[in-house]
Amino acid sequence: MDSLSQTKAALNIWCSKKKLKIEYLFVNEEESLRTHSFECEVRINTFDQVVGVGRGTNKKTASNEAALDSLRFLLKNNYITEKDLSQSCFSILNIKNLLLENDSPSLVTARQKNDQNLVIESQGTSDCNIVESSRQRDNYYNNYRGAISNQKNRLYNSPYQSPYDPNHNNFNYRSYEDYGRQNYRSNPYNSVNYIRTCPPPPPPPKPNYGNGDDLRRMHRFRKTPFNSNSREDENNLNRMRNLNLNVDRNRHSSMVPNNKSIYGPPTNLSDSDESISQGLEAKKRRFDDDRSIKNRVKKIESESNFTLDNAKQLLNQFFQLHRIKCDYEFNSCGPHHIKTFYARIKFYNHKNKKEYFAEETGGSKMDASRHCALNVLYQLHRDKQIESFEPDALSKRQLMKMSLVYKLNIDQRLKNCLMETYNEVQSYNQYSQLQIFNNEEPTIYLPSYSDFLVWFPPMDNYDPWRNSTLVDQYANTLREDINQNLFNDFESMISSKKFQSTIVSRMKLPIWRHKDELINMIRNNGVVMIKGSTGCGKTTQVPQFILDTYIKSLQGSDCNIIVTQPRRISAISIAERVAFERGEEIRSGKCTVGYAVRFDYVYPRPYGSILFCTTGHLLRRFKSGLKGVSHLIIDEVHERDINTDLLLILIKDLIQVNPNLRVIIMSATLGVEHFQRYFNCHDVLEIDSDVHPVSRYFLEEIIETIRWKPKMMSYIDDDAEANENNSEYLKISNNTKISKQTMDTLQNLKEGVICLELIEALLEYIITLETNGSVLIFLPGWNTIFNLLYYLKGHHIFGDSSKYLLLPLHSQLSQKDNRRIFQYSEQRKIILSTNIAETSITIDDVVFVIDTCLIKRKIYCSRTNCTSFVIDWVSRSNIRQRQGRAGRVRSGYFFVLCTKNRYDSLEEFKKPEILVSNLIETSLLIKYLGIDSVQHFLSKALDAPPAAAINESLQTLQAINALDRDNNLTSLGLILAKMPIDPRIGRMVIESILLNVAGPMITIAAASSINFEIFDNSDLNSILPILLKIDQERFSDHLITFKIYNSFEENESLARLNNPYVNTNSINVIRNARKQLINILVKSGFSDGLFALKPKDSYTPNELDLIAALLVTAYYPNVCIHKDMRRILTNEERIGLIHKTSVFYSYVNSQKVSKTTNLLSPVFIYSEKSQSRNLISSKQMTMVSFLQLLLFGTKIYEFPPNLPGASVTDTVVLDGWIEIKIDADVFDYIWQLKTEFERLLRKICYKPECDLNELDSKVLKAIELSCSFQNLSVNVIGKA
């Protein structure tokens, strides 16, 4: 076989070794068949251009010629080196001479001089040469190949330009001294062993401090610069450029003649020598730029003590002092892995009546904004608007950030294990490189969006609730017979005593008067809107009106109604109420009414029925289309939860395709115009309730009326509820008749914090009014409910159970407990509730309402990618809804625990949840429904979320490998989409299957998904010793949850005795959630036995360490570092506190842990963060090690500038704020384990029943040892 015929095999083997995808494309194939002249093009996915072309009389010859041309191209551009030619794929195939025979002498000379003069290491393992070649690690740039392919025809100035040429577009040479801090933005979740000799990305752009020439020399990837067309912006830009900070700002304005060298006299140079000379010139200019930037920054620092580290902080202080509202504008360009960011700021300073403007560039938003702030500070300093910075007095934050360097001491046995595993993986990769295979994961094909926008009315022999063919009494029954049977049942129902006892009260409801009008509107319109205040009867009566109309007209089989509710408790309680009004008991398949919520469902009969369900349940039902349903009723739309907004998008698209579907939208406080425009609906039915007058009292009036004199000022002790001192809202207007004593009391009262003593005094005042009726108290959450509950139980009046019935109302409680609020009682009921009682549930006998005006909300911060729970003020519309609860049966009283000034300052409506939530689960659900573009789908929402929030969610899903680079579902993503939990928690569960701890992890995942409090937190002093006993110095709230659940599974009666403060209903909910998750995973192909639990005392320390490590996957980047006592440093570099409900607080409070040196590791992850304006507290914490953080959390690492005497790579900064000292080889080994673990995860997701080979087992064993706390010790080192 000649050498030409072997070129294609050689190219294929080389591409396989580099893990590159190669394509052979034939041009005009039909024409070539007629002319017998074939032309073949070779494309490699790293290059967005043809790398080789070949022609021949047949396809084989053309492809061989194209392969030869491609190899020569790669060789002449140094992608294939001389060393590569000596390897087996070229020497065995004997094509080395064929490749080199056309090399010109000048090319060889140029290559030799490049090797001599430009000592550049191979760019295979890192993106700058600060690590010696023996210690370089693989390049994990996210989507590196795709990013390079996006550089349209910019890779090369000429077809055969050397990537080592300094004039090469991607030349990125740096010496150790000049490189500074380099970011390694790595993503092992999408990692591929990319070609080690690909050209590196361009260097980061140079910041500009008033240097016009640098600013005009924009980055070559810039596509959308800021718009500076206006004369005002141009003047600002010129003023910024003319700061004249750089003494040699025009240094590069003159061009060097082509025949002259900047290093010496003119010489007669060959083409290659001239290329090298120009490259060296370019290199020198680049180094001069670096030095110039450093000189300018040093100049600013010497004159004013402004630095890049303190610039933003000082500028923010200036803005606050002068009441200037301003923020940075950001723009970016280039491929996402090497983006250039542009920061711009512009503001007007009233003090000197001058406008300031700056625009700077950087490798990240933080970098660009810091340079921008430094520019503006220097302008202000030159104008004498700001004094020089005095660095002598260190702030609290600076003091806390000192000594943030941690030296990791790795056990020698672990080092040996890591090295052995590393070598075996390398050897395996070398053997597998000779095989030609496609490493890409198969694409998951799902039904398209149009496939599930399917609607059918009720059909013969079809059960719409079970989505199956009928097999019961209705099977093969004629529709006329079904209609007659439904009518007969209806006649029997209305003649029953139970029905007669409820019809009288139903007819008194305000909506009953609008019955005929409503039926006509529904018959004549596709979408009908109903606005009715709370208690008008719309939720229970509207579906009955529709169903009864169909049944009485002998069309009952054509009517099936779905009614959505935002909460489980609402769906179940309303279904039970409707069934009671119809004289029925809810039974599966027999009753008119049913419900379907998470963990529980009772389906009604298949024809002539009503199903109450949550919005989330209906969204999942859309996956198979909406079949057999005639009417959709969307209730409580005003709450604007994220599932409701998604449902409205689907319904809007659905009714455009299926206009016969009838949709009814109901709300208590509906923004009518907003929804009318959205659905193009003209008619709205407004229903007024017959509400009795309600007297409203604000905080100052309450204190004045009851003449309250505080004694101890008892507050609910929750860190998250400590609010700022808003004295302006506690001031009383002069025309208000309020005594001085009341004003003094207000000034001493903490606004926004629940005062138990005030509520107690108010209740004592209520019983003096001698007015019967229940009391409803609105509280923000579970902890506040039970704190007040136990406070009142110990009261000398309200603790008397013969006179007062204290009833909590919360979704965590069982249905049996929650039903007690509706039952008649001779004792006065005092109901402690969250906002559930605001609109979803109506309690008829409530006369008194006490409103704390607070709510617990989940807020997502895109800057830190963290979700926190905050105690926030409700809106004015919420307060009006709560007021309506007091006037149901007679005149009522409404006590508002905020001042009139605070009430006037509140928002009219709260922002929709879709605008303040993390969209990860939402985006994954949308992809699961088969929708191509998440951005386009969400842009159709009633209030579309920002594009940046959508992109962040997609990037996160790509980072955890739920989506591929084209935003298509992966095999892992398909499994995660079926699990009703956060995708990151779901990924944690899948990872635990590989490490044989799936039983504990799926329990923790189930507990995390329901957001239930496992303890009632009523008496922390009694609970904390129990926590210490259970924890056994693991410092993990998550492990405590698992251990308690496991003890209940082993012996529930004993567990109840040993853990009296455990909320047993939470245990039941965790059990149901756990079963649901296991069923989903079993249906996905995993074995049920993987999730079995062992006895609680049989888990080894290594297994418990693995559980802690896997929690990093679920909750990263929620990371904090313990400093001393109760203080922590969060990933936002803010000082925070350990929440009092955490077991770690128990150790600190008992002084068992006072300093970081008492811990095996100072690093903690947390699953919940509570915060107010001035305080952050972390809840649900678990101690993790630095190696665990590296394996399962860290996405970015960088090497800071080396200190004198330090080794080259002993210091690494993780995620930009945690600085560690670690052996470079160990770091390499850990990073490779990270990649190998990702490969194994993809393997079991694609084929869950697959067997792991010996190498896979060794990788998992190495990970287990790396996660062990016994194999690592930490020393804290102070910064120099």
Distance CA 887, CA 890 (A): 6
Q: Are 571 and 602 spatial neighbours (Cβ–Cβ below 8 Å)? A: no
Dist CA 723 CA 750 (whole Å) = 8
SS3 content of the chain, % helix, strand, coil (to 5): 45, 15, 40
How far is Cα 315 from Cα 298, in angstroms, rounded to an integer? Answer: 18
How confident is the model at residue 293, as a pLDDT?
61
Structure tokens at 626: 């909406």
CB atoms within 10 A of CB 493: 16
- Average pLDDT for runs of 10 along the chain of length 1280: 72 81 83 77 81 86 88 82 64 57 41 37 34 37 35 34 36 32 37 37 43 32 36 43 34 33 36 48 48 70 80 83 80 74 86 85 84 88 77 46 73 91 81 49 65 83 88 83 93 90 89 93 92 85 95 94 91 92 83 90 93 92 87 90 92 90 85 82 82 88 88 57 49 66 82 87 91 91 85 90 90 78 88 85 87 86 70 89 83 92 89 89 91 91 90 92 91 93 94 95 90 69 81 90 91 81 84 93 93 90 95 92 84 80 82 68 88 74 94 84 55 84 88 91 90 90 93 74
Write the secondary structure of 1171-1221 as one string of H (helix), E (strand) and C (coil).
Answer: ECCCCEEEEEEEEECHHHHHHHCCCEEEECCCCCCCCCCCEEEECCCEEEE
Rounded Cα distance, 923 and 938, in Å: 9
Backbone angles phi, psi at 669, to 5 degrees: -125, 80
* Whether 810 contacts 785, CB under 8 Å: yes
The SS3 assignment for 723 reads coil
Residue 258's CB is within 10 A of a number of other CB atoms, namely 8
**Cα–Cα distance for residue pair 1119/1113, rounded to 1 Å:** 11
Task: Show the tokens assigned to 722.
Answer: 């400590």
Alpha carbons 1274 and 1277: distance in angstroms, whole number: 10
Going from the C-alpha of 794 to that of each of 11, 759, 782, 820, the distances in angstroms are: 82, 14, 19, 21
Question: Do the beta carbons of residue 797 and residue 767 sit within 8 Å?
Answer: yes
pLDDT at 249: 33
Q: What is the pLDDT of residue 588?
A: 72
Nearest Cα neighbor of 1267 from 418, 497, 576 is 418
Q: What is the pLDDT of residue 670?
A: 59
CB within 8 Å of 1039: residues ≥ 6 apart: 1031, 1104, 1107, 1108, 1182
Beta-sheet pairing, 866-873 with 854-861: antiparallel
Cα–Cα distance for residue pair 622/617, rounded to 1 Å? 9
Residues 6+ away with beta carbon under 8 Å from 1253: none
Tell me if the bond preceding 1117 is cis, omega within 30° of 0: yes
Distance between CA atoms of residues 874 and 880, nearest Å: 11
Closest residue by Cα to residue 1192 from 1109, 1108, 1102, 1107: 1109
Spatial distance between the Cα atoms of 238 and 253, rounded to a whole number of angstroms: 18
**Three-class SS state of 390:** coil
Contact yes or no for 1199/182 (Cβ under 8 A):
yes
Q: What is the pTM of this model?
A: 0.69
Residues in Cβ contact with 102 at an 8 Å cutoff, skipping those fewer than 6 apart:
72
Pairing mode of beta strands 1135-1138, 1127-1130 = antiparallel
Contact 31, 17 (CB under 8 A): no
Positions of E strands within 965-1078: none
3-class DSSP string for 106-119:
HHHHHHHHHHHHCC
Token pair 């909320």 in the structure block, residue = 1063
**DSSP of 548-572:** HHHHHTT-GGG-EEEEEESSHHHHH
| CA quadruple 688, 691, 694, 699: dihedral sign | negative
Which three-class secondary structure string do you get for 1069-1129? HHHHHHHHHHHHHHHCCCCHHHHCCCCCCCCCHHHHHHHHHHHHHHHCCCEEEEEECCEEE
CA-closest candidate to residue 839, choices 644, 673, 1079: 644
CA–CA distance, 740 with 1096 (Å, rounded to integer): 61
Find residue 348's DSSP bridge partners: 355
Indicate the burial class of 1049 (C-beta count within 10 angstroms; 0-12, 13-18, 19 or more).
middle
